Each structure stands twice: as structure tokens, then as C-alpha cells.
Structure 1
Amino acid sequence: MAAAVKRLMDLTIGLALCVIALPIVALIAAAIKLDSPGPVFFRQARIGLHFEPFIMVKFRSLHHNMPDPHTHYEMQEDDPRITRVGALLRNSSLDELPQLCNVIAGSMSLVGPRPLVEWESRETLRRHAARFEVKPGITGLSQITVRNSVDLDARSDVDVEYVRRWSPLLDLEVLLRTPAYVFSRKAIYPDA
């Protein structure tokens, strides 16, 4: 029953946001194409519900085909791969907007733990397996509390707290608090 309620909320709110965001999506797509060569969207394998992989979609914020010089690396604000438009998208979290498609498709939820790449997911599995009992979210409890001000382990503690406390009201609270946290620009990047 809880899963059905959450899915209904995702579809209802997600579809409404898709319609509202359509003009913004078109403007962002045009800006990305004008700013640097490459695709508008960035697709990456992430780990979701029950540790199943899925393809997450974001607006591209890095120069296309510029190699990552690091094996295990959290993006820093001064990373030379970030494009001019990409910096604006990251600072406003608008790069996450295409994940509404993931929500409609059912691989993500509006609210939940942020989806991790495989190596991060494996690191969290031993102590924080509960974070994989729900779909990953565009926003979540850790996004409106600690974001990137703490390490992966501490963020995962908050993710597990979300899973244990989940209710429709908690999801609504997170959704309502997300814009203020995004506009505050707190902890967008981890401390260097």
C-alpha cells in the first residue's frame, strides 16, 4: 500500500512538474548546445531499488568526452571540465531536471536517497543496505539537511533515517523544503 501511495504521488506531482518545466527544459537545452559541443543530456549507470542498475539522465554540465582524471572523485567547484552553462545548472540544481523522466518511468522517485554510482553503492552496502530498499530520489532528506557538507557515510546515515521514517507527509515536507535549500546554494560541492 505504501509503495502504491508513493508511486501515485510520483506520477501526479511528476507529470505536473514535467508540464510546468517544459519551457525551462527547452531553454536549457538550447543554452547547452550553444555553449559547448556535445549532447544535451548526460546518461550514467546508477544503482537503484534492490541494488538494480538503471540509467539516470541529467543535463550535461561537463565538456563532452573530457576524461575524468580521477578514479574515485567527488566533483569540485573549480573542476576544469565544468562548462559555463554547466556551472549555472549545477549551482541551481537544474541539471537534475531530466530525472523527472526517470520518475515517470519508475526507476526513481521524487524523494529518496540520491542514486549512487556502483563503487559508492558497494561502499555503502555493508552499513547502509536499507537505502536500497526504496527507489532513489531527485531530492531527499540528506539533500535538505547535510547535502555535501559531510562524507558519503554520514549522508547514508541520513538516507537510512529517511527509509525508516518514510511517510507521505515526510515526502511532502522534503519536496516543500527543497527549493529553499537549493536557492541557498549550501554545500553544493564537498569541501576541498
Structure 2
Amino acid sequence: MDDKKIQKLIKRVVDVVVSLVVLIPLLPIWVLIAILIKVTSLGPVFFLQERPGLNKQIFKVYKFRTMKLGSDKMVKGLEVMKDDNRITTIGKFLRRSKIDEIPQVLNVLKGEMSLVGPRPERITSLADYDEEISKRLNMNPGMTGLAQVSGNIYLSLEERYKYDVYYVEHYSLLLDLKIIIRTVGVVLFGEGRYVDKCLVKINLGSAEVATTKEETISE
């Protein structure tokens, strides 16, 4: 078994262990969030939507619902703006803290997602994929990813794709660890804190993003 396969095996073990830790001991918090969602807005607790995963296999992604009913029609690349009036009161907190993404540990346990990887997009986005962008589908999508800790909403769709492809082509457990650590920072301080403070060095068209020394949107 080569080094990459060993690392991916370890990655899967970590995915399962961490997901169980998030799911079982924190179940009372899940219940509290569900109650808050139900009493503050009409609609279901969870938002489910089909997304393309590894090798374009379609699966349903789970999230806590953060938007009002009928708000699922959005513009690709700018699905939800920061102060979007379609976001519910509790939804603003859930999105800012990234708690709305927590139910995706169910997708991780099912093997449809990983803790770290390219974020799953809408199925309609596949129509615009070329051979290069399609590389982001060569690994399971993630709850967090390189683009998400490199500016995310402050990046163009094309820039996010470049980070995703870089991640797939340069995957390592060390890179996963750095992304997870940086994700904690994003949750605490916001995505804007890490614009131009990227973990890797890639060419984003006319501008090159420098490596830092730190070891670190749709519904």
C-alpha cells in the first residue's frame, strides 16, 4: 500500500472518530438548536439538498436550516450574501458560527463526505466544469476546505476552484491538520481575518498568494 493510500485510510478513520464525538456527546445541543429553529421560523429543522460528491455521485447533504422557506433559488457563486434578508434570526448565528454545517457529520459517517475536502456544490454547477475544475470531484467533498480557510466569501468562484484543485492534487494529512486548525480560527474570528493569509502558494490569475508561517455559500 503506497503512502497516499495509507494517508487516506487514516483520514477515513479520523473522519469516523471525530464525527461520532460530535454526534453522540453533543446530541443535547442538537436538540436545543432544533427547538430554536422550530420556534423562530416556519419550516423543517434540517435542510437537505442533492449535491455531487466523489466521481459525481449524487448524495443529499444535511444542514440545519438557516433560511426562510422558499429561499432555495440563488445565484451560483454568490448564493447567500452576508446580510441576506432570507436568513432567519437564529440562522445568522448558525451560519456565522458554522454550526449549521454540523449535521454533515452524518454525511461523513455514511462515507459521502470527509471532514476536509472541496465543499460540495449544486448539481447545476457541473454544467460549467471543465477538465481542470472536475479534478475537485476526485476526492470526497468536505465540511471545511482549503478555500474556506483562505477567504471563502471574499474569493471569486474561479479562485475557490483553484484552491479545491490544489487541495486534491497536494493532499496530505498535514495539510488536513492545518486546514482544521485554521477552521477554528475562521469560526472564532471570521473569514475576513484570513484574506491574503493563505496556507499555500498558488497562482490566482494575476495575483499570487504567498505561504504564511502559520501552521494552521449556499444554504
Q: TM-score, normalised by structure 1?
A: 0.90
Pick the aligned partner of 1:41 from 46, 54, 76.
Answer: 46
CA, structure 1 residues 64+17, in 2 after alignment: closer, same or farther (shift >3 Å)? same
* Aligned twin of 1:65: 70
* Alignment of structure 1 residues 74-113 onto 2, 5 Å: 74-113=79-118
Pick the aligned partner of 1:144 from 130, 140, 149.
Answer: 149
* Aligned twin of 2:140: 135
CA distance in 2 between partners of 1:90 and 1:81 (Å): 12
Partner of 2:49, secondary structure, is: strand
Which amino acid letter does the alignment assign opposite residue 41 of structure 2? S
CA drift of 1:23 comes to 2.5
CA, structure 1 residues 21+122, in 2 after alignment: closer, same or farther (shift >3 Å)? farther
- 2:149 matched to 1:171? no
CA distance in 2 between partners of 1:104 and 1:153 (Å): 30
Moved more, 22-31 or 100-109: 22-31
CA contact (8 A) 2:46 2:64 kept: yes
Q: CA RMSD in A?
A: 1.9
CA drift of 1:71 comes to 5.3
CA, structure 1 residues 116+126, in 2 after alignment: closer, same or farther (shift >3 Å)? same
* Aligned twin of 1:16: 21
Partner of 1:98, secondary structure, is: helix
Q: TM-score, normalised by structure 2?
A: 0.79
Moved more, 12-21 or 137-146: 12-21
* Aligned twin of 2:210: none
* Aligned twin of 1:56: 61
Structure possessing the higher relative contact order (Cα contacts under 8 Å, 6 or more residues apart): 1
CA drift of 1:119 comes to 2.1
CA distance in 2 between partners of 1:177 and 1:5 (Å): 20
* Aligned twin of 1:162: 167
CA contact (8 A) 2:150 2:191 kept: no
Q: Which segments of 5 or more consecutive residues in structure 2 lack a partner in the other structure?
A: 194-216
CA distance in 2 between partners of 1:104 and 1:63 (Å): 28
CA, structure 1 residues 67+172, in 2 after alignment: closer, same or farther (shift >3 Å)? closer
Structure 1 runs of 4+ aligned residues shifted over 4 Å read: none
CA distance in 1 between partners of 2:192 and 2:51 (Å): 22
CA drift of 1:67 comes to 6.2
Instruction: Give identity over the alignment, percent.
Output: 38
CA drift of 1:120 comes to 2.1
CA distance in 1 between partners of 2:139 and 2:71 (Å): 33
CA contact (8 A) 1:111 1:175 kept: yes
Which amino acid letter does the alignment assign opposite residue 14 of structure 1? S
The structure with more radius of gyration: 2
Partner of 2:127, secondary structure, is: helix
